[in-house]
Amino acid sequence: MVGLVLTISGCVIPLVHNRREKAQTPDAVQRFSAQAQALTRAPGAPSLPDVTRSMSVAIEALPDVEDGDRMASEVRKQAEAMSQSNETDALARASLNAALEAVRRSKPRVPQADKDRAVEVAREAIQKIDPGQRATVDTAYREVATAMVVVTGGGKGAATGSELSQLVARFAVEQPDDARRTGAQAIAAMSDALLRLPLAPEHAARTAHELRKRAERLATASPLDYAGQLKDALSLVVRSLARADAQPGERRLLDEAEVAVAAIRADRPLELQQGAAQDALRLVTDAMTVSVTAR
């Protein structure tokens, strides 16, 4: 609210003008997004049925969704079925399709072009679900969550902006030749994102410049040299985010990212460890996101 005071004949009259409030992503959508980002086979991570139930609640929180209650109920039923069936991939796909339809029907709080772009990325991720390949399912959940965050006007943070999140998702499902190009593009996007993080300006600029040079070298790296150069670039990002006063959650995620990056073998071709490289890319991206919200 912006208040002004007008004085007429000794009378003080307050004039109040409404300032448009920034759209806030509903808590249910934020909770689903956080759980989707955490999807992994690691102990203590949320189970797929639990994340699917969270997704049903997020559907109910989307703005002005025609028939949204029915869609949320449908997703809840799929979540229950997951706990009692071996057809997890098919049930996940059905749940994700229902959730994405709810996103399509929702009234966006952002430009239509932003909504359309996020929906298309999520649609492509769902289409790329490969039976038996859990990573493709996790990627689809993360992209549907991102689409929900976008349409509700929530800031995804510089590190998980549209370009970087799409690149990381693509890397997970591409063939090695395409993945190598996408990985280089993701490192370049990280260099841009660093400039928008709450880091000391000189430190951010210097690190972003070094990271951009690594991205350029990565784009032309041979298959045998690629993994080592990717590891070097991701290590630089992790070091740039480290700080003594990091919050426990931020420190924990940075530690996980550091372990994931260390797991990349510099002496092995990417095609023999693409899953490990994808985990490292995702965790470093998540660490950048946390650095935005924690500072």
Q: How many Å apart are CA 240 and CA 201, to the nearest integer? A: 12
CB 225 within 8 A of CB 219: no
As separate numbers, helices (DSSP H) first and strands (DSSP E) second, the chain gives: 12, 2
Q: How many of the other CB atoms lie within 10 Å of CB of 44?
A: 6
Place of tokens 């448009």: 20
Structure tokens at 179: 């993945």
Tell me how far apart the terminal alpha carbons of the chain are, to the nearest angstrom. Answer: 26
Using N-to-C axis directions, what is the helix angle for 176-194 and 162-173, rounded to 10°?
Answer: 160
Q: How many Å apart are CA 187 and CA 198, to the nearest integer? A: 19
What is the pLDDT at residue 102? 96
Q: Which residues contact 172 (CB under 8 A, 6 or more apart)?
A: 135, 136, 139, 278, 282
Structure tokens at 276: 């490990």
User: pTM (2 decimals)?
Assistant: 0.51
What is the pLDDT at residue 246? 67
Q: How many of the other CB atoms lie within 10 Å of CB of 245?
A: 8
Q: How many Å apart are CA 66 and CA 113, to the nearest integer? A: 21
Structure tokens at 143: 């992209």
Q: How many Å apart are CA 88 and CA 96, to the nearest integer? A: 12
**DSSP labels for 12-54?**
EEEEEE--PPPP---HHHHHHHHHHHH-SSSTTSPPHHHHHHH
Q: How many Å apart are CA 37 and CA 143, to the nearest integer? A: 9
Strand partners, 117: none
pLDDT, tens digit (0-9, with 9 covering 90-100), for 1-52: 444 444 444 454 444 444 444 557 787 888 888 778 767 544 456 789 999 9
pLDDT, tens digit (0-9, with 9 covering 90-100), for 119-128: 998 999 999 9
Q: Which residues contact 61 (CB under 8 A, 6 or more apart)?
A: 26, 27, 28, 29, 152
pLDDT, mean of each 10-residue run, the chain (295 residues): 46 45 72 75 68 93 91 95 89 96 91 88 91 87 91 58 69 85 89 79 87 91 95 94 71 89 95 92 83 56
Give the angle 89-106-39 at the CA atoms, nearest 5°. 35
What is the pLDDT at residue 27? 79
